[in-house]
Amino acid sequence: MQHPLFSVAQIRGIERTAAAGLEPGILMDRAGRAAADHAADLLGPGTGRAVLVLAGPGNNGGDALEVAAHLAAREQVTVIHLRGDGAQPSFETARAIERAGASSATFTDALPSAEPDLVIDGLFGIGLTRPLEGRGRELVDTINEYGCPVLALDLPSGLDADTGAVVGPDGIAVRASHTITFIGDKPGLHTNEGREYAGQVAVVGLDISQDQFPPATALLSTPDLFAHCLRARGQNANKGTFGNVAIVGGAHGMTGAPMLGARAALFTGAGRVFAAFVDPGPAYDSTQPEVMCRLAGGFDFGTATLVLGPGMGHSPDAVRDLLRAFESASPLVIDADALNLIANSPDLQQRLTQRGNAILTPHPLEAARLLGMTVPIVQADRLAAAHELAARFNAVAVLKGSGTVIAHGDQVAVNSTGNPGLATAGTGDVLAGICGSLLAQGWPLWEAALGGVWLHGAAADRLVRRGIGPIGLTAGELPLAARAVLNELVRRYARRRS
């Protein structure tokens, strides 16, 4: 089952189409009821808890006032309503103001002296185009210091729904513990700053018919997108059935990087795994002796799926090995130093574009070098940057970071797994190795990228659930966890197909 993500423009179009066939105010009433029910779930059993509702001047504020009207029957609701610049509210918002005013909710201009049990953020919705300022900013500054749950309506105020960036160079946004988003899910809730500010996201469709929804801007990546590649192993399988992977890199002083990638490939199912070193490296991996060590210069690049870049360096030998890899017909995963060599060479860029059959796995700085822009520009619109990488280099692009973005052609997906434990050296080498392993086992490029990124993040999530990290989680701990997650997925989806 797919999980679509819609742009602000698409959401507005859906809302206009749906509202045209309904009585005025119906959608806002549905949103208010759904959010009030969600708030009640967060509060748990009982009544009389203190709820602070922050309502802005627009329709997002109208949603918040509807929530206040519904909750006031059982909780102690305080409303701070920012009226804006004096513009007349919409019919729907005016009706919500009237309903909340007729309830037992208390309207005030001052924050309560004691921290409430729950805050409802309905200050600004998907239409915000400038940084929060004035009273709105003051309110956000204060509630971000609270320890109670914060429920954002549609999205946290101050966040861009399309990009996940905080609006404005000096902007701030509500740090919500939970977000209930209306009509359809938005990319900005799942990438860039979105995961930090949105918390747990719930989607409420407001009973709008699916035939009123256009094709999604992107998808939230889940195992359903690559489930058809998850196959139980047959009894008659052998190591040749599951392909060869060679991790090409390991210049002097950086032999650990290809070793991490090789172990990741091994533990996620590749039949045979090689570490091919640019400079003379170790004769064998004492921790994982199944990994076969070779000199890259003498290795036949046509015999394996190639993962290029971990610890590769920038020497002439590294360039030589990269060129030889491009001349092979093998599928490629291109990471780390290989990406930087390509960014610095128009010739390598042209060769890559003409060749295709590759997955690129840059972090934002590497992506900025490849695109000839700055990191802030890349991060300001991660979906657009990933799409540009994929188009420019005729590849599947994996733009790493919180809410990793995977793009190829017209397809864009935002990954849903991972945590700050991955912010440590070597985890990118592990990701590249996993992607290479899946390619070697016959997964198509798109599914190998989706599956590799999802497994990589899920492995980190599994470790954190077990008390290993996020602080101090190391890249070397990921391959075993990834193996466990992959086998669990195979068992789950094999049962569904049986």
Does residue 330 have a known ligand-binding role? no
Cβ contact 380:162 at 8 Å:
no
Does residue 104 have a known ligand-binding role? no
Does residue 131 have a known ligand-binding role? yes
Does residue 154 have a known ligand-binding role? yes
Does residue 130 have a known ligand-binding role? yes
Does residue 471 have a known ligand-binding role? no
Does residue 61 have a known ligand-binding role? yes
Beta sheet of 218-221, edge-to-edge order: 4-5, 218-221, 411-415, 405-408, 396-399, 358-360, 332-334, 305-308, 244-249, 272-277, 292-295
Does residue 128 have a known ligand-binding role? yes
Q: Tokens 């729904």 correspond to what residue?
A: 161
Query: Which DSSP state fits 165?
Result: P
Does residue 420 have a known ligand-binding role? no
Does residue 429 have a known ligand-binding role? yes
Cβ contact 162:186 at 8 Å:
yes
Q: CA nearest 175: which of 139, 204, 202, 203?
A: 139
Does residue 106 have a known ligand-binding role? no
Does residue 125 have a known ligand-binding role? yes
Distance CA 2, CA 474 (A): 32
Does residue 404 have a known ligand-binding role? yes
Q: Tokens 């209930």 correspond to what residue?
A: 180
Distance CA 458, CA 481 (A): 8
Does residue 363 have a known ligand-binding role? yes
Distance CA 416, CA 458 (A): 9
Q: What angle do the packed helices 364-371 and 382-393 form, to 10 degrees?
A: 50
Does residue 436 have a known ligand-binding role? no
Distance CA 153, CA 180 (A): 5
Does residue 384 have a known ligand-binding role? no
Burial class (CB in 10 A: 0-12, 13-18, 19+), 66: buried
Does residue 58 have a known ligand-binding role? no
Does residue 211 have a known ligand-binding role? no
Does residue 347 have a known ligand-binding role? no
- State the pairing for strand pair 244-249/272-277: parallel
Handedness of CA 97, 101, 106, 109 (dihedral sign): positive
Does residue 129 have a known ligand-binding role? yes
Does residue 60 have a known ligand-binding role? yes
Does residue 311 have a known ligand-binding role? yes
- Extract the annotated binding site: 59-63, 121, 125-131, 154, 157, 257, 311, 363, 400-404, 428-429
- Extract the annotated binding site for AMP: 400-404, 428
- Extract the annotated binding site for (6S)-NADPHX: 59-63, 125-131, 154, 257, 311, 363, 429
- Extract the annotated binding site for K(+): 60, 121, 157
